[in-house]
Structure 1
Amino acid sequence: MHLIDSRAELDRVVRELEEGSTFYLDTEFEATREGTTLCVMQLSSGGSIHLIDALRLSDLAPLTRALGKADAEWVLHAGQQDVPLLVDRLKLETPPRLFDTQVAWGLTSAEPSVSLAYLQFRMLGLRSGKAHQADDWKRRPLPDSQLAYAASDIEHLPEMHAELRKKLESLGRLDIVREASADLTWPSSDPPEPIALEDFRNAWQLDVHSQAALRFLITWHNELSPRERRFAPEQKTLLSIAARLPESGADLARIKGVPRRWAQEQGERLVGRLMRATAEADGSRFVPIDPPPYATFEEIRIDAWLAFLRAEVCTALTVAPELALPGRVLKKLRRALLEHESFDAAVNATLGGWRHRLLAEAMAKVAAREPPPA
């Protein structure tokens, strides 16, 4: 087995792959604060396994003749990082149909986020080692043992895909696994949920200038597109930026949680706008924020009931609770219930797409039997 690192070899692989429509993929990459570098791409249509040298082959676009076809389906395990990387390197607008075996397992069991090695053991009885899990994928040449490890990551995906697909079809969840796989591995084109000052628990500790900075950063963050948010600092980092009030792009880059490459490209511009916002802060109109309570008994009762609801619904449907009703979804449902919306209205406002189709009816049955606390 060897790395495919020439255009002639790549074209040969593409001609072979064009015969198929289901593709089994994985990637090996190096992630640093500067960004993520795709090093090796593992690829098969169910037969031969091809290892593509993504460092030496700067142009992977020829692969789109197969991987970008209208009827293509990508089968991966835990593709949250793989899918965006591949879409970017293949210069696709969006990924094709996706089937994530980790998601599929969570739609048929209590277990979310299982490793590939664990799933292979549970489904096929295979034990795999971790000898090369932390290897350097940028070095060249790669030893045969490392290449074999890379190939093994997709070797058994066809068998697992077939078995999981059969089980999901019997449950009527084949469309759901595809929609959920896309939802969990590719940023939505829907406008992201806006954030507000109330989302920052410790905002009450900010002085007049830092509070003005945070208000500016919230507005800035809400105006970013889903793609821009992928590369920008995460929401939780905004409070640190506001508290520190960086005076240069270099200062910004030193704050934990700020991607270095993004700071190099966008930092000076953002810091300039941030400094203008703080300079315009009017101390005479500053209103201190009172700290919110850490807990109320009303919230404690709602949280206990939501935990009961999640356990009952997911047990009845045989789905992993953390997949079907993750914390962020429960938090949104909790907020709706605390605002005294009816249960049905709260569910409809909280759940959309595959989650609503999968869960809403079962949730209504549990709520009818055991209503939420008044």
Structure 2
Amino acid sequence: MSPAPANPAHVLAHWIDSPDALRARLASPPARVGLDTEFIRERTYWPKLALVQIALPQADGGIEILLVDTLAPGIAEALAPLLADASVLKIMHSPSEDLVAFRQTCKQVPSPLFDTQAAAALAGVGAGMGYQKLVAEITGTALEKGETRSDWLRRPLSASQLQYAADDVQHLFELHDALTAKLDALGRRGWFQSDMARTMATAIEDPADRWPHLSMRTANFLDRDGQTRLLRLLRWRDAHARVADLPRSWVLDNELAATLARMSPSTPESIAEAVRAHPKGPRKLVDAIWTALGTPLPDEAEAPDAAVAERRDKSKVKALQDAVSRRAAELGVADAVLASRRMLEPLVDTGEWPESLEGWRREQLEPVLAPLLGRAPVG
């Protein structure tokens, strides 16, 4: 099907910058709404919510779209009841960062949730598909992409920004209907609901990465003491960045963290010297860095050895990946929907199933992976 131009018929968009006006529009909320946000996260740790788009279905089959100015005083408090209303389904596309923005600004995570990107992946339409591409795939409608990198904090917003924002929720009901039908036809509604529950739990709990050193390749070449120093620094950096609302790299960039972990500084002065030598060194944080390096973490003895990646049986990981690929093909989904390489590596390293593979994924994969791991499938 050749994509057709976006059709704005029966779509009304309204700019909302008053809490009273928002409450009036949402006084009798429908059974489902389309929801999206625009935010900025260039100079902060937390996304700064700039705009919320809400699509409301109308009795005549049309759609009313509210473009809600979250910079206006009182808007966040007026929006929170809708986000918390368990009787209203919130349809969103790839909402992980949007959920964080809502939690930080409105003190509420939208629930219940229907993620159209996750639904498309489980329905075999495509994994990781962007909103514009999914709309074209499902509805045949071509959407503009011109405002992807816009400044959403400026006021007033331009006509093209407002149109782009409205487009982002205009087709969510169509996607919801089509993808729900596909999931039901495949008998995967339960899988999807399980994934949504996990997405919601992650957004609400906001767990910090317990072992951040594992994501830095430098850690593979540090001894255990060096890895411990790096772990202490990265845990401290994350906590400080959250409180100060600054990007992690602005607090302490990876290169300097690795340098400090390698050198095992013995005095605050040696830290100060290393910080001064680095172009992005945080001179005001020398004392805090010294304290972080010298403060043991209660669980650091349990930290996985990053160097195990260099010793891992890569042929076994490849065998697991091949088995996942075959099972994914049988199910008609992308390999990554079932399991990524990062999910499989703990199975090789420790033999333990990671939490990310529990539930329906383990049910689908254990029968084919257990023999490769030298174990019989459970049950």
TM over 0.5: yes
Q: Deviations over 1:250-281 (max 9, x none)?
A: 97x9759xxxxxx9xxx96x753431465799
> 1:27-42 to 2 correspondence within 5 Å?
27-35=37-45, 36-42=47-53
Q: 1:71 is matched with which residue?
A: 87
Q: Secondary structure at the match of 2:54?
A: strand
Letter in 2 for 1:363: L
Quote how far apart the aligned CAs of 1:307 are: 1.6
Q: 2:233 is matched with which residue?
A: 217
User: Is 2:92 the counterpart of 1:80?
Assistant: no
Q: 1:284 is matched with which residue?
A: none
Q: 1:163 is matched with which residue?
A: 178
Mean CA deviation greater in 4-13 or 155-164: 4-13
Question: In the alignment, which of 30, 34, 38 is matched to residue 20 of structure 1?
Answer: 30
Letter in 2 for 1:20: P
Quote how far apart the aligned CAs of 1:202 are: 2.9
Give unmatched runs, 5+ long, in structure 2. 1-12, 59-63, 266-270, 297-304
Letter in 2 for 1:12: A
Q: Secondary structure at the match of 2:57?
A: coil
Count of aligned residue pairs for this structure pair: 335
Letter in 1 for 2:82: A
Mean CA deviation greater in 155-164 or 272-281: 272-281
Q: 2:152 is matched with which residue?
A: 137
Letter in 1 for 2:26: V
Distance 2:83 2:215 in 1: 40
> 1:206-355 to 2 correspondence within 5 Å?
213-214=229-230, 216-217=232-233, 233=248, 240-244=256-260, 247=272, 255=280, 271-276=286-291, 292=307, 295=310, 299-336=313-350, 341=351, 346=352, 349-351=353-355, 355=357
Q: 1:53 is matched with which residue?
A: 69
Q: Secondary structure at the match of 1:55?
A: coil
Letter in 1 for 2:347: L
Q: 2:3 is matched with which residue?
A: none
What's the TM-score, normalizing by structure 1?
A: 0.73
8 Å CA contact 2:211, 2:231 repeated in 1: no
8 Å CA contact 1:21, 1:72 repeated in 2: yes
Inter-CA distance 366–205: structure 2 relative to 1 (3 Å threshold): closer
Letter in 2 for 1:371: L
| RMSD (Å) for aligned C-alpha atoms | 4.1
Letter in 2 for 1:310: V
Distance 1:365 1:204 in 2: 32
Inter-CA distance 363–7: structure 2 relative to 1 (3 Å threshold): closer
Percent of aligned pairs sharing the same letter? 25
What's the TM-score, normalizing by structure 2?
A: 0.73
8 Å CA contact 2:86, 2:111 repeated in 1: yes
User: Is 2:54 the counterpart of 1:43?
Assistant: yes
Quote how far apart the aligned CAs of 1:70 are: 2.6
Q: Secondary structure at the match of 1:32?
A: coil
